[in-house]
A and B are shown apart, each in its own frame.
Chain A
């Protein structure tokens, strides 16, 4: 089954079209990498799917529930319960600074899923352990490195048992050393068949970890296909140009 289905999605700010008639789906258990130049609409696409931005037209379905149907949003209750099936990891973490690491991971479980405190704590500790943060449960976000913060935010998203985890440039705020740390976590999740959509500038990572890749430029899907094939042998001229420019800058 498709976890996310997007049909003819468009988003404009006034006259500026940032997403233009995009259609694609995310299949259960796959990792989809979204690549493309800065300002191409990749992040906006993720933000539209998670309802942080409102789309102008199109249809979005999450696990079969249409949250946006031909440009019309579902009612608040439907929207809320469908959106809970999505987890989003931000570029700049957005941890809650006044909560300990543990509470960052338990709070939504308790408030939103109405889990008991003991159960939430257990879930959180297991996830933190998995993220290599077992000793950091009582620390505060300001005491962590960027890579650790991002791992907490992944644990925070996973704690709500999402059907799909969306990453919005999860390593762009990190230096290369810490980037590897996060990519390893995503790689491990991929091995567990977690469904993921990763907006990224890490081409090597996209090639190795993603099942499929999608290149977005100027708000449209330029090319889509198996990740390795798309990155190694792009068919489209624009994809070629983008990847060439990219490999040049990463060699600098």
Chain B
């Protein structure tokens, strides 16, 4: 039992890495995608629209398989499974986050942009100092949903054989002819998401000083 918990803890570190690295890459990418989606140039906005359609319109599990095996079939090149999962997750989550960002950015009243322009702020200052801070406040609840989903989606990494928490729990269950390890894994996910929820609530409270 203690040994099993030890391997599950080790596996949760892998899950946690998947989670953290995906967020690290997906959030900045999503900001670029959101801006591209809103671009006045159709040459930019249409391909990005298609990208979002594909990412949201096909199963993540399929995307993981595609990202891992496509290079193999196309160039006979294979690469690290862990990297493949990060790439697939990042591409997928950036699409979802981008739409949340776009909604947030477009919800900021035009008057904010106009006031900034009249005061002589550069476009970069307007975006990063006036618009974005207000966007963050508005998108926190929707982003919490995505981040929580990501915690659970890390279980999909096992599709291409990454030994994350759920895979390890399933293996342990098979060995012991018992579902207990899987339910223990469930508790792990729950605790992680509890922490995520708390963090988001705290951030919301911190930004509650204005409306």
Contacts and interface: CB of A to CB of B under 8 A. Distances in A.
A90 interface: yes
A94 B114 contact: yes
B121 A96 contact: no
B203 to A, nearest CB: 14
B125 interface: yes
B118 A96 contact: no
Interface residues of B, number: 20
Contacts of B211: 97, 142
A92 B210 CA distance: 17
Contacts of B119: 107-108, 112, 156-157, 160
B120 A84 contact: yes
A86 interface: yes
B134 A98 contact: yes
Contacts of A153: 115
B192 interface: no
Given A98-B137, A160-B119, A140 B129 contact: no
Interface string B111-144: 1101101111110010001100110010000000
Contacts of B129: 107, 111
Given A84-B120, A111-B125, A97 B210 contact: yes
Given A52-B114, A107-B129, A112-B120, 19 more contacts: A50-B118, A51-B117, A84-B120, A86-B118, A87-B118, A88-B118, A90-B114, A92-B111, A94-B115, A96-B130, A98-B134, A98-B137, A98-B210, A108-B119, A108-B121, A140-B209, A142-B211, A153-B115, A157-B118
Interface of B: 109, 111-112, 114-115, 117-122, 125, 129-130, 133-134, 137, 209-211
8 contacts: A52-B114, A87-B118, A94-B112, A94-B114, A95-B115, A107-B119, A111-B129, A140-B210
